[in-house]
Structure 1
Amino acid sequence: MPAHPDSRHRKFGEALAILRLAGPLVFNNLALAGMNFADTVMAGRLGTRDLAAVAVGGSAWMVVFLCGLGVLMAVSPVVAHAYGAGRWEDAGVVLRQALWLSQALAVLAFTALLGVPLLLAAIGIDPEVVPLTGGYLFAISFGLPGIFAFLAMRFMSEGLGWTRPIMYAAAVGLVVNVFGNWVLMYGNLGFPRLGAVGCGMASAIAMWCMFATMLFYVRRSPRYARFALWRGFEWPRWSTQRDILGLGLPIAASVEAEAGLFAGVALIMGTLGATQVAGHQIAINYAATMFMVPLAFHSATTIRVGQALGRDEPVLARLAGWSGIGLCGAFMLLSALVLLLFREHIASFYTNDPELLPLATSLLTMAMIFQVSDGLQVGAAGALRGFKDTRVPMLMNVGSYWLIAFPMAWYAGVHARLGPVAIWIALIAGLTVTAILLTTRFARLSNRRVAAAATHQDALAGGAGGAAG
């Protein structure tokens, strides 16, 4: 007798499938974080001005990058549904249209970054830093067409459930980025010493190399042959673009809302003093590093849920969603346990400043609760995206972050001057509310889909019985 979809064996199998998909994505996420880490460390050795230019420019770059990333993330559930339904050639249609969209996004992002130096000068950024920041942004902007085209292919491949080529591309990008920094920032191998501008150039080259690696793999691997990815030239098709944008724009808004919250909290911390900023940075750096793992689980959950729904298996889709949410929560609970046992050692890894160490330790303690909520909310978001549900979650995210978390953080930090711990309580409140809202939304949406499928089956069975009678 076949196993029931909700049996223990099926639950274990679904969790294992998510882990297999997520493994290469964990490497990808850590490699991308490694590129940012290398840029910061290598720029720091050049001096304060170059480090400031890379830091300020990197913040501006991240805003436009996350916007494009969010829009293109819609490709994954669209392809996953088509794949699950056996509509092989739809994956090729979506990819070709996503590539057009990626280049339109690159043009918009490039244009937006050109105006950043004027904005920086207007808000009073150090005049010595503004030209360097502008040079860095101009250089890195030439990587936009490459990285956005890579993202279109990445999310297409994710939707098909093939994540290993994404890991290969990330590995190439990390190596090229670090080597390019060494050559262009420091003036090695006969190249001029370009400093922060060289950092931007190295990043742009790395982005194109990631695209080239992904393109080579996708074109050469026989696994992609049946999807007719390169059937022929195709002009932009509004119906497909509308589907991608309809899902992608709310995802982009959700991503920007969360990123904006953390940027805003960092600015609030800046009003309290250098020690408070440093302590916050230590805690948020640890949390962000650990977040790379559930972020990969999130993507894998979207794939499994979307493919199950494409096959019209809502029970399995519900199971995949809860498995992904559970894995995200379990990993972050494990990370919280590590913090509980070793937070003093982790804090001392970052600093030996006797004034900073106690604050960093206390904020790492707050990060224990923070991480569990963060894991649950990102897992639920991935499950909902598998259902192609992005608009209501966007409203939930924006409301939790900007109507709850940010006002609390502003009051605690700026008005009441309650200190960094109180600001972290505001972050925890926002993420916890988000986690509750998104998991509740997933429970209702998935149960409704299962009930509708059961009703449909009953109606078919009744009709068949009546016909037989």
Structure 2
Amino acid sequence: MPGVSADAPTSPHHAPPQGTTGELLRLAGPLMLSNLAYTAVGFTDTLLMGRLGVVEVGAVGFASLCLLTLVLLFRGSLNTASTFVARALGAGNAAGVRRWTSVFLGCALVGVPLALAGPWLVDGLFALLKPEASVAATARTYAHIRLWEIPFVMLGSTALSVMVGLGNTRTPMLLAWLVVVLNAALAVLLIFGLGWGVRGAAWAAVIAVAVQNALAVALLARLHGHRFGPFRPARPHRSELAALGRISLPAGITELAEVGAFTVFQGVISRLGPTELAASQIANQLASLGFLPAFALASATSSLLSRALGAGRPDLAARIGWRGAGVAAALMGLLGVLFLTLPRPLIGLFSRSPEVLELGRTVLGIMAAYQVLDGVAIVLGGALGGAGDTRFRLIVTLVGAWLVMVLGASLLAPRYGVSGAWGAALVFIAFAALAYLGRFASGRWQRMRL
């Protein structure tokens, strides 16, 4: 923006974060509960689909991954709003907070044309992945309905990201739990009360997500507009476009590449059969319990680290990153122990099929082996993103997720089944953790400018 640099202070500096474990947990705590809410939505859909059949369980999970693949380039780019806003906040730059928020809200309007093109994109993705016929038919029905929520998701994700950048994690938590309650109530009514089956699950999610994200935009203006607003969608200037291309676009491509790789990975598993796909989807739902603290800590670490850099404290930023990674590793290690000791009871929450129970136990055993590494990779990857070092994350994802995980699964799954596929995922996560550890230790991210 001419005359207003996002790094130039226009008011006295805000006090930088302290980088203590307590501060990290205070910011991450509500985000953990937010992530728990999103996981609860997945649990609800998986549990309800389990009452309909094995095909429905696998199809809904597969369709959800395909939808994520379609939106993540844009949603991942928009989520970097927290990085820009937190850096401006750390520098005491109220005008920068307002301007970046407005720019990202303007970019979020891409959700409208994306939703309109969605049916053709979904069908093309299904044709490329070639899931088993019964899975494909059910998944297509679910995915085409869920496309209606995309414009709300784009705007709401931007608003929630700005809130996190400003240190407000309580409002996103409350909105996330609103989705849980509303989605569960509507799903039971539409799936069983009206007999809509998979279509009912899709419409329940659309309504719940639309309400949540519309409220997110409204509450951003209400809670923070008096201090930094008004927030109105705005077109980025040339210098801002350059910053978005340098920081936000690689972040979006990274998320697209990572989830796209996992979608193809699940496509490889889906070709093994509905039982293998169902076992993997259930194990992945359970593994998402580990993502709760890890992704929450990654967001908290990213926000605090970016604020510390804005305040000119790279030493403090480094301390924040290491502490976040340590806490995530400890928490996810506990989940790994749980997977090793109670695999069958955990899988049995979703399915009593002997074949699903046995395959799910195997997958959980492999997942247990990488929980600590995954925690480190998630948090340090988020820390690098908060510093603006998004291109390195993109390289790690392209090499690791596609060459190691997808190619490895394609080669190993036909011979070793789900064990071979998830073994490739284990190698990818170990590679990512070591790469991020090396990059963060080098300190090169401390010299990144937005």
Structure 1 length as normaliser, TM-score? 0.81
Q: Distance in 1 between matches of 2:383 and 2:68?
A: 25
Say yes or no: does 1:202 pair with 2:204: yes
Say yes or no: does 1:254 pair with 2:254: yes
Over 3 Å counting, the alpha-carbon distance change for 1:138 and 1:274 in structure 2 is closer
Would you say the 8 A contact 1:314–1:446 is kept in 2? no
Structure whose alpha-carbon radius of gyration is higher? 1
* Alignment partner of 1:439 out of 430, 437, 440: 437
One-letter code aligned to 1:78: F
* Alignment partner of 2:421 out of 420, 423, 435: 423
Partner of 1:94: 100
Over 3 Å counting, the alpha-carbon distance change for 1:114 and 1:44 in structure 2 is farther
Q: Give the secondary-structure state (helix, strand or coil) at the position aligned to 1:19.
A: helix
State the superposition RMSD in angstroms: 3.2
Say yes or no: does 1:25 pair with 2:27: no
* Alignment partner of 1:215 out of 217, 223, 226: 217
Once the 2 structures are TM-superposed, how far is the Cα of residue 174 of structure 1 from its aligned partner? 2.1
Once the 2 structures are TM-superposed, how far is the Cα of residue 117 of structure 1 from its aligned partner? 3.6
Aligned ranges 1:293-312 → 2 under 5 Å: 293-312=293-312
Q: Distance in 2 between matches of 1:111 and 1:169?
A: 28
Q: Give the secondary-structure state (helix, strand or coil) at the position aligned to 1:162.
A: coil
Would you say the 8 A contact 2:57–2:278 is kept in 1? no
Once the 2 structures are TM-superposed, how far is the Cα of residue 115 of structure 1 from its aligned partner? 4.1
Partner of 1:396: 396
Say yes or no: does 1:164 pair with 2:193: no
Over 3 Å counting, the alpha-carbon distance change for 1:137 and 1:386 in structure 2 is same
Would you say the 8 A contact 1:308–1:314 is kept in 2? yes
Would you say the 8 A contact 1:250–1:390 is kept in 2? yes
Structure 2 length as normaliser, TM-score? 0.85
Q: Give the secondary-structure state (helix, strand or coil) at the position aligned to 1:161.
A: coil
Once the 2 structures are TM-superposed, how far is the Cα of residue 180 of structure 1 from its aligned partner? 2.7
**Could you say which structure has the greater relative contact order, defined with CA pairs below 8 angstroms and 6 or more residues apart?**
2
Would you say the 8 A contact 1:184–1:194 is kept in 2? yes
Which stretch of the first structure deviates more once superposed, 276-285 or 58-67? 276-285
Residue segments in structure 2 that go unaligned for 5+ positions in a row = 1-15
Q: Distance in 2 between matches of 1:117 and 1:293?
A: 35
One-letter code aligned to 1:331: L
State the Cα deviation string for residues 285-307 of structure 1 (Å, max 9, x = none). Answer: 32223212201111111001000
Partner of 1:72: 78
Residue segments in structure 1 that go unaligned for 5+ positions in a row = 1-9, 451-469
* Alignment partner of 2:184 out of 178, 182, 199: 178
Partner of 2:8: none
One-letter code aligned to 1:244: L
* Alignment partner of 1:147 out of 138, 146, 153: 153
Would you say the 8 A contact 2:76–2:253 is kept in 1? yes
Q: Distance in 1 between matches of 2:30 and 2:293?
A: 10
State the Cα deviation string for residues 22-65 of structure 1 (Å, max 9, x = none). Answer: 11111221222222333344455567887676455433322123
Once the 2 structures are TM-superposed, how far is the Cα of residue 122 of structure 1 from its aligned partner? 8.4
Q: Distance in 2 between matches of 1:386 and 1:374?
A: 18
Would you say the 8 A contact 1:140–1:203 is kept in 2? yes
Q: Distance in 2 between matches of 1:177 and 1:82?
A: 36
Q: Give the secondary-structure state (helix, strand or coil) at the position aligned to 1:426.
A: helix
Over 3 Å counting, the alpha-carbon distance change for 1:115 and 1:165 in structure 2 is same
Q: Distance in 2 between matches of 1:402 and 1:219?
A: 40
One-letter code aligned to 1:284: N
One-letter code aligned to 2:92: G
State the Cα deviation string for residues 225-249 of structure 1 (Å, max 9, x = none). Answer: 221243x674444433442343222
Once the 2 structures are TM-superposed, how far is the Cα of residue 75 of structure 1 from its aligned partner? 0.7
Q: Distance in 2 between matches of 1:397 and 1:208?
A: 31
Once the 2 structures are TM-superposed, how far is the Cα of residue 90 of structure 1 from its aligned partner? 1.4
Would you say the 8 A contact 1:91–1:229 is kept in 2? no
One-letter code aligned to 1:199: A
Which stretch of the first structure deviates more once superposed, 65-74 or 128-137? 128-137
Q: Give the secondary-structure state (helix, strand or coil) at the position aligned to 1:142.
A: helix
Q: Give the secondary-structure state (helix, strand or coil) at the position aligned to 1:312.
A: coil
Q: Distance in 2 between matches of 1:26 and 1:57?
A: 25
State the Cα deviation string for residues 331-360 of structure 1 (Å, max 9, x = none). Answer: 111222333443454345455555554543
One-letter code aligned to 1:20: R
Once the 2 structures are TM-superposed, how far is the Cα of residue 361 of structure 1 from its aligned partner? 3.0
Partner of 2:66: 60
Would you say the 8 A contact 1:117–1:130 is kept in 2? no
Once the 2 structures are TM-superposed, how far is the Cα of residue 74 of structure 1 from its aligned partner? 1.1
